[in-house]
């Protein structure tokens, strides 16, 4: 399956739970999986971060974190304020290429959005994905503002030659409002096909995460999610608009 970049439209879109869902489904079919978080920010050494959550939700995956910074900033800014050495694109890409040779699937989870800076030379997660020829899974939010954030993310990836493999909503609310429901068709229009997955906002707390992942991701990921049916079930009657 190669290397796949997990890209968020913004912080809090649900990248980590989506990464865990893809990983646990791949593991359930006997594939070896590595999950890499090139940079974790906002945590001190020893504190549980995104990879600890993935290990909890997807037992058996191998996890790798290349840098950690205490300040909740972009990796570039966090390294600068801490006086630490920043990550180098070539070093990260070389390490990921080695993992690609050792595992069936390598999932690389970004930090923040796709154009968040990782180094003083300005390299971003989009450049990393391009250097690896890794397709992207774009994880977005459902509500107001998501159409703009998603369109900009897709444009940034396209401008750098990074193909989009899937669009997933990472935090679907228990009681979706008009904006969330009406945005489904518009998100679909942005990628030109039904969305590839919807995970509930409390997916990480479900007693059977594997079942949640299977129900929330499409068949390409060994799931049962049907994007067109989900859209039809949730699209409201025209009764108002939300500027997104």
Q: What is the pLDDT of residues 107-138, one digit of tens each?
A: 999 998 999 999 989 999 999 999 999 999 99
- The closest alpha carbon to 118, from 179, 76, 165, 84, belongs to 76
Sheet with 33-41, side-by-side order of all strands? 62-69, 33-41, 105-113, 2-8, 136-140, 164-172, 197-200
| Whether residue 241 has pLDDT greater than 60 | no
Does residue 165 have an active-site annotation? no
Number of CB atoms found within 10 A of residue 120's CB: 11
Helices in 15-145 by DSSP H: which ranges? 15-28, 50-57, 75-82, 89-102, 125-132
Q: What's the whole-number average pLDDT of the chain?
A: 93
| Whether residue 243 has pLDDT greater than 70 | no
Confidence of residue 198 (pLDDT cuts 50, 70, 90): very high
Question: Domain limits of the chain?
Answer: 2-234
Confidence of residue 10 (pLDDT cuts 50, 70, 90): confident
Distance CA 180, CA 172 (A): 8
| Whether residue 244 has pLDDT greater than 70 | no
Largest Cα span, the chain? 54
- Domain 2-234, CATH: 3.40.50.300
Taking the chain, what is the end-to-end CA distance rounded to the nearest angstrom?
Answer: 34
**Residue 94 CB partners (closer than 8 Å, separation 6+):** none
CB 147 within 8 A of CB 183: yes
Point out the least confidently predicted range of 85-94, 155-164, 212-221, 231-240. Answer: 231-240
Tens digit of each residue's pLDDT (9 = 90 or more) over 143-169: 999 999 999 999 999 999 999 999 999
Q: Give me the pLDDT at residue 220, please.
A: 93
Rounded mean pLDDT, 223-228? 97
Helices in 58-163 by DSSP H: which ranges? 75-82, 89-102, 125-132, 146-159
């Amino acid at each position: 399956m190669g290397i796949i970049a997990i890209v968020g439209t913004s912080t809090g879109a649900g990248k980590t739970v989506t990464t865990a869902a893809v990983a646990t489904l791949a593991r359930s079919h006997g594939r070896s999986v590595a999950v890499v978080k090139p940079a974790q920010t906002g945590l001190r050494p020893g504190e549980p971060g995104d990879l600890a959550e993935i290990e909890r939700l997807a037992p058996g995956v191998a996890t790798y974190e290349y840098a950690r910074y205490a300040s909740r900033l972009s990796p570039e800014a966090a390294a600068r304020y801490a006086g630490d050495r920043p990550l180098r694109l070539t070093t990260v890409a070389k390490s990921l290429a080695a993992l690609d040779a050792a595992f069936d699937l390598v999932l690389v989870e970004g930090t923040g959005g796709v154009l968040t800076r990782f180094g003083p030379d300005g390299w971003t997660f989009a450049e990393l994905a391009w250097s690896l020829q890794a397709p992207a899974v774009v994880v977005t939010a459902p509500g107001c503002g998501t159409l703009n954030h998603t369109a900009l993310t897709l444009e940034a990836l396209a401008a750098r030659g990074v193909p989009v493999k899937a669009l997933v909503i990472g935090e679907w609310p228990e009681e979706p409002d008009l904006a969330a429901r009406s945005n489904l068709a518009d998100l679909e229009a942005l990628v030109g096909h039904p969305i590839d997955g919807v995970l509930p906002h409390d997916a990480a707390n479900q007693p059977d995460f594997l079942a949640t992942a299977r129900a929330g991701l499409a068949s390409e990921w060994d799931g049962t999610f049907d994007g067109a049916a989900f859209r039809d079930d949730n699209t409201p009657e025209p009764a108002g608009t939300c500027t997104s």
